[in-house]
Amino acid sequence: MPDAFSLDLTQRPRRLRRTASLRAMVEETVLRPADFIAPLFVVEGKAPPDEIKSMPGVFRLNLTDLVKECRALHKVGVPAVALFPKLDPKLKDDEGTQALNEDTLVLRAVRAVKKAVPELTVITDVALDPYTSHGHDGVLNAARDDVANDATVGILGKMAVLQARAGVDLVAPSDMMDGRIGAVRRALDAAGYTGTGILAYAAKYNSAYYGPFRDAVGSAQAAGTRLLSKATYQMNPANRREAIAEILLDDAEGADILMVKPAGLYLDIIREVRNATRKPVAAYQISGEYAQIQAAARLGWLDLARCRHESLLAIKRAGADLILTYFAKEMATLLK
């Protein structure tokens, strides 16, 4: 029966929330398996999958297990993976020379994955932090108090060419050096890899939420050396307009996809970027975002399934076309 007291309302938004089918009909943002890119960590040797303590459910994988995981991701509809190597510390040096080794771990991983699952899009990180003993994203200047921009960019171009030669579909410069997108594009084109795309970490902030990732790849801070500050090249979290300046530069220099990192704490930036470019926009739900959801869920404070879905829905609603997330496999399995 109608309520005894009735308001004289013409507009009642709740009418379209009354049933599940009505809610589905007017749903504005929908997540699909094809929205997700799965970040994966690869290690040398034949050891079984090694769970990263600060990232429950995420593992460092040897090459054999990496291929198995890529097959599983492809089967549930995840279209792409982003590969990150964890090197033996003995292979690291101040110059990150292992990055230019034609048989370095990540290049072998690319070749193995593309051979086993050729339909899967493979993305590789173009930055020196997995390879340097000091953990910075580039080589240091003479005073060793900052990263040398132009010298680093020269190395990144060579890295990108090696990765393209190994068969990657997209190279992803994540270093935030000035001019590196244009330099990488020129290097790829000069080497004949005009079809290799660039996913640019165009607005990457100097976030406090990267800790679990640094644990995963064994970079300097996680290894217990001096505290790293990347404030001279990663963006100030206080800045919004600067993100648009960075995005437009990378767009003009030849980036094919423009990414904001982190995602959940920077939804306003994702929206600004979406409004500023016609190119695809990606966002990276980073390790700290993943870890805090997992931790709160394990303590019984949050519902994991609902928070996982809501966090990713918010990122897409803000304007991201693609989302790098450690929840990719779980979400794709549920959505499929």
Catalytic residue annotation: 204, 261
**Contacts with 68 (C-beta within 8 Å, 6 or more apart), sequence order:** none
Residue pointed to by tokens 């230019």: 100
Residue 312: closest CA among 334, 296, 295: 334
Strands (E), the chain: 36-42, 50-51, 59-61, 80-85, 121-126, 170-173, 197-204, 257-261, 281-284, 322-324
Q: What is the DSSP letter of 34?
A: G
* CA distances from residue 219 to 22, 97, 134, 144, 212 in whole angstroms, order as listed: 49, 15, 8, 18, 10
Task: Report the largest interatomic distance among the alpha carbons of the chain, rounded to a whole angstrom.
Answer: 81
Whether a cis peptide bond, with omega within 30° of 0, leads into 262 is yes
